[in-house]
Amino acid sequence: MLAAECAYRLGNNGEAVNYYNKMAEEALNIPAYKQLLPIPESELMRNPYLVQNPEY
């Protein structure tokens, strides 16, 4: 992918995260749940409004 295309996608559609998650899942065969890391337990205890990422 050209850098210009990346810049266009990042600057104009506002869905860069979704685009790159889809690309990672399709091209690199990375399951969606592995694209996020677990939130450390200490952070979860500090903020009761946080919810652990799926599959962790």
Residues 4-50: tens digit of each pLDDT? 555 555 555 556 667 777 777 777 777 777 777 889 999 999 999 99
| Domain range for 27 | 3-46
Question: Which residues have C-beta within 8 Å of that of residue 36, sequence separation ≥ 6?
Answer: 53, 54
Residue 32 domain-assigned (yes or no): yes
Residue 52 domain-assigned (yes or no): no
Residue 21 domain-assigned (yes or no): yes
For the chain, state the CA radius of gyration: 15
Distance CA 23, CA 6 (A): 12
Residue 7 domain-assigned (yes or no): yes
Residue 20 domain-assigned (yes or no): yes
pTM of the predicted protein model:
0.46
Count structural domains, the chain.
1
3-state secondary structure of 23: helix
Residue 56 domain-assigned (yes or no): no
Residue 22 domain-assigned (yes or no): yes
35 Cα distance to chain centroid: 5
